[in-house]
Amino acid sequence: MVDRIAQALRLLREESESNALRAEKAEDKAKSLEEEVVLLQHRLATLDVELIKATSKLAEQKLKEYDGDQSGNKMAEKVQLLEEELSQEKNNLKETTEKLRQADIKVEHLERWVIRLEQESTLWEKKYEDTIERHKLPNKELEDYTNANHHI
């Protein structure tokens, strides 16, 4: 009987340790994804600045073309190049925004997973403590009985 109790306690302890390890891994993954989100946010901010610069350049070039500062063909080529650059920057911005959104979703999912694992770990720790408490009295009674019979 004592062996079964000890084995049950050992199994509960192992499962509790396993759950704690899983929770730590999930927290590490969440932290990694949060760092990725920060990097993507920085990239997004950089792309926003580049987009603003490209838009500004495009407006300046169109203004120069309108004012007649440069020849029509050369200006049209520059405008076309700037419009292509602007289009490419918009695509980069869309891609980065989508990656950021996906990373945010992953972080939220992992945070919920970590919370669930922590709750599960707490539950197993409580079960372990309850089992220990439940078996203290029978163990004490068994020890008292053994000591009483040992003196006979």
- For 68-136, give the DSSP string: TSS-HHHHHHHHHHHHHHHHHHHHHHHHHHHHHHHHHHHHHHHHHHHHHHHHHHHHHHHHHHHHHHHHH
pLDDT in tens, 34-76: 999 999 899 999 988 998 898 888 888 877 776 665 555 677 7
Measured CA to CA, the distance from residue 107 to residue 102 in angstroms comes to 9
pLDDT at 114: 92
Burial 31-58 (b: 16+ CB within 10 A, else e): eebbebbeebeebbeebeebbeebeebb
Instruction: Using only the alpha carbons of the chain, give its radius of gyration.
Output: 33
pLDDT for 79-137, tens place per residue?
Answer: 889 899 999 999 999 999 999 999 999 999 999 999 999 999 999 999 998 888 887 77
